[in-house]
Amino acid sequence: MTSDLRRQVAQLLVVRGSGHWSDGQRRYPRWELPNAELHRLLDAGVGGVILLGGSAAELRLRTDQLRRWADGPLLLCADVEEGVGQRFEGASWLVPPLAVGRLHDRDPQRAAALAERYGRCTGRQARLLGLNWVLGPVCDVNNNPANPVINVRAWGEDPATAGALAAAFVRGCQGAGVLACAKHFPGHGDTSTDSHLELPLLPHSRARLEVVELPPFRAAIAAGVAAVMTAHLQLPALDPERPATLSAAVLEGLLRRDLGFSGLVVTDALVMEAIAGRHGPSEAAVLAFAAGADLILMPGDANAAIDGLVAALESGRLPMERLERSLGRRAAALARLGPAPLEPVDVALDGLVSAEEQALSRELLELSLELGGTPDTLPAAKALISTPVPLAPSPALPAGPGINLIRLDTALTCPFLPAMAPALLRPTAAGYGACLLEGRSPSPWSGDPQAPLALERLPAGPVLLQLFVRGNPFRGSAGGDEPWPAALAQLLAAGRLAGLAVYGSPYLWEQLRPLVPAGIPAAFSPGQMPQAQALLLERLGLAAAALEGGFTD
């Protein structure tokens, strides 16, 4: 009995694996299991894997491998909220959802059509690469610009926008033959802390939740979303003791009874500090399952989680009917899927990024690009949000030599800034040498609030300022804690600001744009990927060279 029970329980776990083929390529070995352990767990019945890293071709080989290792049908998923190329090079990497959300106010029909195409692109490419579950859309309403972890991942800053576009994404994604997942229930948008690092508190009443946080989830459920992911949040109005992931009042009461959701409920990753800092892997899994979760995502220790759940079921702490219901929901979700792709790898990859998907990526970038710095470009920038009118070029950068000052979180894990990135190459060709400001380098800040940049540490010459800023998990802030308005004023006062490029955060752009005087080129793109850099820098007068890039390393 215990052996059979362990295999049944194991089906409800989703463990983390690298998208890379070999153990030595794992980017995050703290969370990504080595191949021998992953093989053993899948053979023992573990029913799901969440993947990160590698190229599109490697992912296709990897998902085929995992299916061969598994004892039964697998749920294979990834956090590809911004297209499969966000995590797996070679697939489509799209602008963050909030860029589409900002179009919705002016042209809701076009925004909804784009969101559905976005979902269809993501779902089709996921399926071709062997994934069958997309961990999106984000249904959180990002009504707090300082939100460090949701931010531009949200589809909207108000409930109507977030709901309409999340539902459109669900229709597109699931129409392509994979499952979607609405997250993070009941809403992580109005927080100023990151649940990867600590437990956020959402102090709102149930009445407020009904108005702001819940409508996008209702819309996604009405669109038939297959799964809902929990949020690691404390909501005293619903449960004064336990966070949403561990709360029956939230999962069984609010989500299942009040919102009528009958699909899969999956926890957010249980290794996140909001949960792992308070409960061990065994107890966290038991509490989440008791609260109403069907699937346990990324327990800190898969074996301990299985042991804890088996013991709780055998002792009667958890009723066996709960296990039966969750296994039934998992089976029903798998039954919604088409068969796994059978095409050979080369055939599948040949049609991975279709012409329509290439056009979608370009259209999203064009629609969300903004220029600033001269009065005559501002109306064109605004008009572009609702009509595809080409933007006039911004004023050109002054001739070098100068400094290409690039701000990013870290240079060590930065997929949008490879050695051949346009943000590096194009300014270099114009005589602007790259200088990186990032978390592991000596601080660029002087401590003087009026002149925060330590300019004496930089070479002389005009400065092209390129700021890569957005909310990201584990960062702890959305970049608003850095004094960029004062730094911009300092560069202007010194006569050294040559141009400004902001990638990612519309909130930072909205702060800085009014400070840029006429005649100085400035531009914003919500995307940070090389394609976004190329388009933005082209508008600043930095076109690609005939052959961009070096001959060899």
For the annotated catalytic residues, the residue numbers are: 196, 268
b/e map of 284-322 (b: 16 or more CB within 10 Å)?
A: bbbbbbbbbbbbbbbbbbbbbbbbbbbebbeeeebeeeb
Which three-class secondary structure state does DSSP give residue 215?
helix
**Mode of pairing for the β-strands spanning 463-469 and 432-437:** unpaired
Q: Distance (Å, rounded) from C-alpha 59 to C-alpha 50? A: 12
CA distance 302 to 82: 28
| Burial readout 73-111 (b: 16 or more C-beta within 10 A, e: otherwise) | bbbbbbbbbbbbbbbbbbbbbbbbbbbbbbbbeeeeebb
Q: What is the DSSP string of 438-464?
A: -TTSPP-B-S-SSS-B-GGGS-SS-EE
* Size of the chain, expressed as the number of residues it contains: 553
Tokens of residue 229, six digits: 């992911």
Asked if 102 and 47 count as a contact pair (C-beta separation under 8 A), the reply is no
Task: Find how far residue 402's CA is from the centre of its chain.
Answer: 34
With CA atoms as reference, report the closest residue to 389 among 380, 397, 378.
Answer: 380
Strand order in the sheet with 227-230: 181-185, 227-230, 264-266
**Other CB atoms closer than 10 Å to residue 448's CB: what's the count?**
12
**What one-character DSSP code corresponds to residue 228?**
E
For 116-173, the DSSP string reads HHHHHHHHHHHHHTT--EE---B--B---TT-SSSGGGSSBSSHHHHHHHHHHHHHHH
170 close to 135: Cβ distance less than 8 angstroms: no
Peptide bond into 243 cis (omega under 30): no
3-state secondary structure 45-94: CCCEEEEECCEHHHHHHHHHHHHHHCCCCCEEEECCECEHHHCCECECCC
The helix (run of H) or strand (run of E) holding residue 524 is: strand 522-525
Say whether 384 sits in a helix, a strand or coil. helix
Q: How far apart are CA 244 and CA 163, in angstroms?
A: 21
Tokens 């702060």 -> residue: 511
Please state, in angstroms and rounded to a whole number, the distance separating the CA atoms of residues 432 and 438.
18
What is the spatial order of strands in the sheet that 48-52 belongs to?
133-134, 75-78, 48-52, 13-18, 296-297
Tell me the C-alpha distance between 84 and 352, whole Å.
10
